[in-house]
């Protein structure tokens, strides 16, 4: 790991630029990008010289830091990776990397004794096990739910920085239904994770509508010189209070939903509530139960109910009962042939 923090910021910035296949990068473009990144991260206003960035490229190309980056110049002007799948973030950690991360985990462990930092326990466990697995070549003793090679994770750091700096960004976004990416001038407000998938919550245009974009559908993202606009009604602390998943909006409101659960599923749902608003309404002689939650009706809610199969039945409201009836009828039809 480079000893110079500013150099590391420049290397990561150059890496992000060269991985963006939808733009052609001159040395002047890379200088501007590095200058912007240092200003965003460290408040450095003097910028970066062309000589510094040229030196950074040579270091990245070399084995000095173990990068051996396949940076090439084409048309005598533009820079890119000859291997479009390459990234310095995919390189294995060095001994120095391990030492730095170990020092950080030791500091986090000391802070975890304080109540406000108790949530670090999970982070420390993940880091300790990952470090020991990599450094000592032992088998992992903690297994965390994760998806290998999940797209979009490399965007977490820059998006986090853009939110903190109230930076408007240009997002090239391609939904599953679209044949080509669409450009969105976006005001990012919040990062949200749900079932190992990350989303960025924000708005566009007049900021009246708040919506989310899946990180794994983002083709590229970069800062733009457009005034950042905050949505006056968006509260990041409570925006998802009444939501299961990520699909919601400022105008969404929670509905009272009653559902029945079998004895087996009731035991599970009692110990792991579907939502913090969950209440036990009735416990039947056969061990089955009726529960109630107050949440926004969205696709993730339907998906959750379907995941319980015959162990859960929605009682009300009618709009959910009708949807579940239609969907289960379609499913039954698939197996009748």
Residue carrying the six token digits 């009748």: 336
**What is the CATH classification number for the domain harbouring 49?**
1.10.10
**pLDDT at res. 1:** 41
198 domain-assigned: yes
Number of other CB atoms surrounding residue 55 within 10 Å: 13
**pLDDT at res. 100:** 64
Query: Cα separation of 127 and 115, whole Å?
Result: 20
**pLDDT at res. 179:** 85
**pLDDT at res. 232:** 85
Q: 86 and 9 in one domain?
A: yes
**What is the CATH classification number for the domain harbouring 179?**
2.30.30
Boundary (domain end) residue, out of 53, 71, 90: 90
**pLDDT at res. 2:** 41
Q: 107 and 82 in one domain?
A: no
142 domain-assigned: no
The tokens describing 57, both together, are 């490229």
Q: 132 and 67 in one domain?
A: no
**What is the CATH classification number for the domain harbouring 289?**
3.30.70
Q: 213 CB contacts (<8 Å, ≥6 apart)?
A: 171, 173, 184, 186, 199, 200, 202
Per-residue pLDDT of the chain (337 residues), as tens digits, is 444 778 888 999 999 999 887 889 999 999 999 998 888 777 788 889 999 999 999 999 998 887 889 999 999 999 999 998 899 887 766 666 666 667 676 666 666 555 555 556 666 666 666 666 655 555 655 555 655 556 777 788 888 889 988 999 999 999 888 888 899 999 999 999 888 789 999 999 887 888 999 998 999 899 999 999 999 888 888 889 999 998 887 678 899 999 999 999 999 999 999 999 999 999 999 999 999 999 999 999 999 999 999 999 999 999 999 999 999 999 988 888 6
115 domain-assigned: yes
Reduced to 3 states (helix: H, G, I; strand: E, B; else coil), residue 179 is coil
Boundary (domain end) residue, out of 69, 104, 136: 136
Count the domains in the chain. Answer: 4
233 domain-assigned: no
Query: Cα separation of 297 and 242, whole Å?
Result: 10
Q: 58 and 125 in one domain?
A: no
229 domain-assigned: no
68 domain-assigned: yes
232 domain-assigned: no
Query: Cα separation of 131 and 49, whole Å?
Result: 37
For 131, the domain range is: 95-136
Query: Cα separation of 21 and 84, whole Å?
Result: 8
Q: 292 and 263 in one domain?
A: yes
The tokens describing 300, both together, are 């993730």
Residue (of 147, 168, 296, 273) closest to 229 by Cα position: 168
**pLDDT at res. 129:** 63
83 domain-assigned: yes
Q: 16 and 80 in one domain?
A: yes
Query: Cα separation of 286 and 202, whole Å?
Result: 47
Reduced to 3 states (helix: H, G, I; strand: E, B; else coil), residue 250 is coil
């Amino acid at each position: 790991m480079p000893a110079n923090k500013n150099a590391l910021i420049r290397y990561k910035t150059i890496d992000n630029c060269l991985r963006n296949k939808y733009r052609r990068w001159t040395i002047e473009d890379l200088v501007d990008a590095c200058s912007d990144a240092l200003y965003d991260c460290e408040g450095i206003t003097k910028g970066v010289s062309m000589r510094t960035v040229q030196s950074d490229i040579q270091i990245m190309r070399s084995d000095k830091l173990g990068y051996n980056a396949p940076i090439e110049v084409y048309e005598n002007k533009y820079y890119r990776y000859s291997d479009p799948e390459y990234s310095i973030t995919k390189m294995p950690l060095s001994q120095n990397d391990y030492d730095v991360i170990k020092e950080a985990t030791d500091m986090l462990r000391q802070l975890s004794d304080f109540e406000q930092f108790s949530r670090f326990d999970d982070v420390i466990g993940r880091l300790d096990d990952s470090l020991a697995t990599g450094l000592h070549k032992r088998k992992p003793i903690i297994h965390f739910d994760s998806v290998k090679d999940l797209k979009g994770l490399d965007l977490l750091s820059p998006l986090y920085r853009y939110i903190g700096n109230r930076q408007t960004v240009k997002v090239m976004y391609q939904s599953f239904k679209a044949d080509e990416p669409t450009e969105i001038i976006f005001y990012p407000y919040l990062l949200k994770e749900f079932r190992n998938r990350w989303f960025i919550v924000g708005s566009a245009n007049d900021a009246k509508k708040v919506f989310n974009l899946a990180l794994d559908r983002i083709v590229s993202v970069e800062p733009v010189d457009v005034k950042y606009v905050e949505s006056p009604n968006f509260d990041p602390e409570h925006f998802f209070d009444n939501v299961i998943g990520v699909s919601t909006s400022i105008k969404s409101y929670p509905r009272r939903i009653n559902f029945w659960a079998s004895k087996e599923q009731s035991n599970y749902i009692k110990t792991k509530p579907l939502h913090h608003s969950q209440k036990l309404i009735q416990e039947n002689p056969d061990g089955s139960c009726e529960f109630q939650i107050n949440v926004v009706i969205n696709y993730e809610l339907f998906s959750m109910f379907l995941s319980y199969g015959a162990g859960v039945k929605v009682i009300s409201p009618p709009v959910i009962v009708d949807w579940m009836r239609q969907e289960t009828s379609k499913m039954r039809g698939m197996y009748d042939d």
